[in-house]
């Protein structure tokens, strides 16, 4: 009995809950992964870290509806009609910022994230005084997605915030991620990766809040400890540092 309960929980955090009917499970079980980043690759900003936060959830429509409702009722009136309220938005008091993060933690999101201390980025991702941000971003996203493996879901769907990638087209980015992931996924899996505008995708906005809060924690900024404590119970393991040895 205890083993059955554990098996159900493990399936839920990657897709939908196990059904008693096997054919129904195959139709409904999917991995929905949403991810967004916090930070820039520029050497001239104050941030030490670049963070990609992600989460998976069984029912993304329910999560999106719940967060949209929160934004339209809890934020200042002048902000409620905005298409997106970012973690970094000015005009949001610290108390509301933490309450919003606590609300996200109650939406049954399961979080994985990776981060880079920018001074440790290898030379292969550098060109003179700049980073090869297309290649670097693709590598980091690939590492985050590998944290969701192994997966038995017949559908594996990834949604990333749309961003400009120097030296790489969106199509090349998608092909690189597909080539990296498909060999480790079940045969015949339906694989989808999309780059979407965060203003039109509420779940990407949730990922923005998650990555922003985790970055605040890593940078040891104001509210950093509180942010990490709120999200810790939703994390599937520790954050993964790339090109370094630190892990929290």
pLDDT reported for residue 245:
57
Q: Is residue 229 part of a domain?
A: yes
Q: Is residue 27 part of a domain?
A: no
Over range 8-15, report the average pLDDT.
Answer: 31
Q: Is residue 20 part of a domain?
A: no
- Tell me the pLDDT band of 44, cut-offs 50, 70 and 90: low
In this structure, what token pair is assigned to residue 159? 């949604």
* CATH code, 141: 3.30.420.10
Contact 91, 82 (CB under 8 A): no
CA geometry: angle 234, 153, 228, nearest 5 deg: 10
pLDDT digits (tens, 9 = 90+) for 218-245: 999 999 999 999 999 999 999 999 998 5
pLDDT digits (tens, 9 = 90+) for 52-72: 999 999 899 999 999 999 999
Residues 6+ apart with CB under 8 A from 25: 18, 19
pLDDT reported for residue 43:
63
Report d(CA 46, CA 1) in Å as an integer: 52
pLDDT digits (tens, 9 = 90+) for 129-154: 888 999 999 999 999 999 999 999 99
Name the residue with tokens 């970055």. 215
Report d(CA 233, CA 105) in Å as an integer: 8
Q: Is residue 16 part of a domain?
A: no
Q: Tell me the percentage of the chain whose pLDDT exceeds 90.
A: 76
Question: pTM of the full predicted structure?
Answer: 0.85
Q: Is residue 82 part of a domain?
A: yes
What total of structural domains would you count in the chain?
Answer: 1
Residues 6+ apart with CB under 8 A from 95: none
What 8-state DSSP symbol labels residue 129? T
Q: Tell me which residue range forms the domain holding 206.
A: 34-242
């Amino acid at each position: 009995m205890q083993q059955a309960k554990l098996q159900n929980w493990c399936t839920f955090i990657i897709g939908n809950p196990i059904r008693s009917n096997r054919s129904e499970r195959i139709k409904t079980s999917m991995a929905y992964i949403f991810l967004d980043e916090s930070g820039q690759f520029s050497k001239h900003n104050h941030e030490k870290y670049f963070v990609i936060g992600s989460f998976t959830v069984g029912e993304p429509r329910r999560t999106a509806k719940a967060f949209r409702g929160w934004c339209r009722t809890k934020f200042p009136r002048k902000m409620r009609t905005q298409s997106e309220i970012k973690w970094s938005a000015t005009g949001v008091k610290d108390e509301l910022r933490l309450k919003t993060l606590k609300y996200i933690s109650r939406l049954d999101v399961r979080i994985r994230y990776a981060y880079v201390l920018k001074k440790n980025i290898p030379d292969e991702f550098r060109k003179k005084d700049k980073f090869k941000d297309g290649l670097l971003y693709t590598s980091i996203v690939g590492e985050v997605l590998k944290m969701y493996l192994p997966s038995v879901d017949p559908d594996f769907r990834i949604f990333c915030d749309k961003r400009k990638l120097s030296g790489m087209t969106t199509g090349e980015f998608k092909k690189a991620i597909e080539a990296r992931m498909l060999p480790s996924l079940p045969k015949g899996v339906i694989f989808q990766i999309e780059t979407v505008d965060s203003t039109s995708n509420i779940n990407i906005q949730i990922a923005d809040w998650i990555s922003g809060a985790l970055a605040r924690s890593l940078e040891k900024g104001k509210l950093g400890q509180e942010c990490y404590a709120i999200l810790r119970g939703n994390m599937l393991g520790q954050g993964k540092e790339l090109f370094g040895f630190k892990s929290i």
